[in-house]
Structure 1
Amino acid sequence: MALSKDEKTLSKTLKDLYNINWEKYQERFNGTKPLEIWTGGRYPMRLWLGYKDREQFLSISSKYKLNRLGNNAYIELGFKKKVDPNEVKKFRYILASSMGPIFQKDIIDKILEVCPDDFEPVKVTLKNWHKNSEPFSIEGFYAINALKVIKAIDESKSEISWSDGIANIGDYNYKEDPWQDGCDVLFGPNSPNNTNRYPPKKLDKPCMIAIDALSGAIVWHPKLAKIIPPHPYLFFAQDFETRVHLYGSY
């Protein structure tokens, strides 16, 4: 089957920069090992987003709330550099600094069909805050408010140390199938926040999108990741070793 324009762009980026061929890349969408969305070396960095009000941003978008925010919740984000709003609208999803991916509604609808209990979509308004540009406002994008937390990292195959209950993570590997390995706290041994509930707690049923308890990253089940349209400059990465190879450092 012929590749789409976005697939061709991503395929070329993966091959040229990371020596990953398209067929090999597709293999990571099989099985159950978690994936993360990461940026390729040719990602147009001017599309990264900043936030106007840090306190508002943190109160709404904290990945550690793990509860629904309700229909009235929204996030307002702005571009700090000059951008073309028509170019912004071409992207089905955008990687926002400190927040993860921002998706257009049609993709959110697809994700909701697969795992409606695992996350809540939160409305996002994209603004232009560059002082020398015409102001604009773009609707129709949504952030992911994950509602599940799992212990996705295989600690026996990873480099992890603890300081005041916070994990310091070096190279790490994800478990092959952690999607029911829930964890009801996000802190480790000797943490002042630890209430002796650190051992994993099983979820009622497997999830398909979650927050990893150790890294705080949003992780995706390969089956779910597979339904998300390819982005020309973003890709689903595996294990920390792969990212060290790709980027040289974390």
Structure 2
Amino acid sequence: MRLIGLAFGTLLIAGMFAQGKIVVNNDEWTLSSTGYSHAPDADRFARNVASWFTGGGSGNFLAYTNNFGLTDTQLANTMANAGHTWTVSTAGTLNLSLMQNYDAIFLGGYYTNIVIADLIQYVQNGGNVYLAAGTGVGGAVNEAGFWNPFLNAFGLSFAPSYNGIGGNIPINSPHPIFAGVSQLYQNNGNSIIDLQPANPNNEVLVFSQGQGLYAVYIVPEPASLLALGVGLAGVAGLRRRRQ
């Protein structure tokens, strides 16, 4: 009985493990008012991202930026209408203590008082991050240079130059963040590079002209805990058969 209890306890812990997720967009225009007007599917995309982050429930989100790509009214309305709490603020330092108050952090075009090491830890602890580049703030090299220490920790990278790709981009990925989305707008972003193509946890989902435009990362489940739980349950079953 003790082994069975331990096995189920281990499985319960594994089931409660929050998998941190990252959505990377090469460009910030997608969720701006201009992005909404050019490609109304932006509303569905924003809802899908939020739902993927929360597992379908309501979320408490922080847009830590002053960039128009994440501060326009349409995006705020989308989040509110979907039942989420949406806060736009750059008050205080974006450290782990602040991030832990939110289910997801939305970033792009603002580099002040962001503790990258804490942002990495936040995701590893089960937090979620949406990151958009291509903002032009500081130039392509500096923009990629600021965010790449974060992205590199998860097998991704921004290119240090803008890709010149603009307009409505066809979306043909089956990933849940693109459910019901046929096209999204952008205007000259930092292409996304997959540094670990063999790693199933990070993936570039959408390409145009050979350039990566959207990518995701998900923290892997604690497979060792699951294996231990299954193993303990098997041992317990064997002992019962021998009795």
TM-score (norm 1): 0.26
Higher Cα radius of gyration: 2
The structure with the largest helix share of the pair is 2
TM-score (norm 2): 0.26
